[in-house]
Amino acid sequence: MTSQPASGPGPRARNRVFEGFRRAELLLADRRPLDALQALLPALESQPNAPSVHLLAGRAYLDSAQLAKAEEAFCRVLELDPADHYARFALGKALQRQGRLGEAKGQLQLATVMDPRPEYQEALGEVRARIARITE
C-alpha cells in the first residue's frame, strides 16, 4: 500500500484535474455548460481556493441559467480575489438576470471603475435603463 505525500495529490491526479479544467473550458466554448460542469467537478473538489476554477464554474452556471449557483461561484471568486473585475461583471449579470437590479448595478459599476471595458459599460447602461423604466 502506498500513501501520498503530505504535500498533496500526485502528478497523475494533478494532470487529471488540469485536463478536466481544460476540457471544461472547451465544452463551455462549445456551449455545453452542463458537460463543462461535469468535467470541472474534480477541479472544484481538489482546488477549493482556486479563483480560476470557481470563475469557470460560475460561467457554466450562468450559461445554464443556474443563477443562484452562478452568484455563489462569483462571490467565492471575489472572496478569494476582490480585485477580479470580470467576476464583478459576471456577478452583476447573474444578479440582473435574477431581477435584482440595484445589486447588479452596484457590481457593474465596480467592474466598470476597475476596468472600463465597453461590454461592462454596456451592461451597466442596460441595468440603469431598466431601473429608469421601472421608476418612471
Segment 89-131, tens digit of pLDDT: 999 999 999 999 999 999 999 999 999 999 999 999 999 999 9
Closest CA to 28 of 63, 70, 65: 63
Q: Give the tens place of pLDDT for each residue, 34-48.
A: 999 999 999 999 999
pLDDT at residue 25 is higher than 80: yes
Task: Indicate the average pLDDT of the chain.
Answer: 92
pLDDT for res 106? 98
Are 56 and 28 in contact, with CB atoms under 8 Å apart?
Answer: yes
pLDDT for res 4? 42
pTM of the model: 0.87
How many other C-beta atoms lie within 10 A of the C-beta of residue 127? 23
Helix (H) or strand (E) run with residue 117 in it? none
